[in-house]
Amino acid sequence: MTVRFLLPAFFILLITGHVSAAQPEDEYSLKANIAHLETSINKELHQIRRELTRLRMEQQKPGITEILGGIGYILGIFGTAAYIQAKREKKRQGDSSNSESSEMH
């Protein structure tokens, strides 16, 4: 283990009460405490990673807003197509009535 890791780990152990500043402990006990701390931290990190993965999966699913938005988009496309078709039909009916009236005169 490096000194860079041992000092912060020692202070964490000191703060949490695993090591007393008044009683110097031997190196083996300190390493055992650090190993225990590492195990605890790894367990917590594993749980946090699992939770983050679950949240990401939930965010990827479409919500009610996206579903309703998609339905509205599709209805809007069909409404526009129906409007265009109705205009064409009206124009054809207007053209055919104009041609009939001109034939009568």
Q: At 10, is the pLDDT very low, low, confident or very high (cuts 50, 70, 90)?
A: low
Q: Which of 26, 46, 61 is the last residue of a domain?
A: 61
Range of 12's domain?
Answer: 1-61
Number of domains in the chain: 2
Average pLDDT value for residue range 44-53: 94
79 plus 50 within the same structural domain = no
User: ∠ at Cα 98 (92, 104), nearest 5°?
Assistant: 140
Q: Enter the tokens of residue 80.
A: 């526009």
44 plus 72 within the same structural domain = no
Q: What is the pLDDT of residue 15?
A: 66
With a CB cutoff of 8 Å and minimum separation 6, the contacts of 19 are: 10, 13, 25, 30, 33
Q: Enter the tokens of residue 34.
A: 């650090």
12 plus 46 within the same structural domain = yes
102 plus 76 within the same structural domain = yes
Query: At residue 46, does pLDDT exceed 60?
Result: yes
Dihedral sign for Cα atoms in the order 80, 83, 87, 93: positive
Of the chain, the percentage scoring pLDDT greater than 70 comes to: 68
Q: At 47, is the pLDDT very low, low, confident or very high (cuts 50, 70, 90)?
A: very high
Q: What is the pLDDT of residue 22?
A: 47
Query: At residue 96, does pLDDT exceed 80?
Result: no
Q: At 1, is the pLDDT very low, low, confident or very high (cuts 50, 70, 90)?
A: very low
52 plus 69 within the same structural domain = no
pTM greater than 0.85? no
45 plus 68 within the same structural domain = no
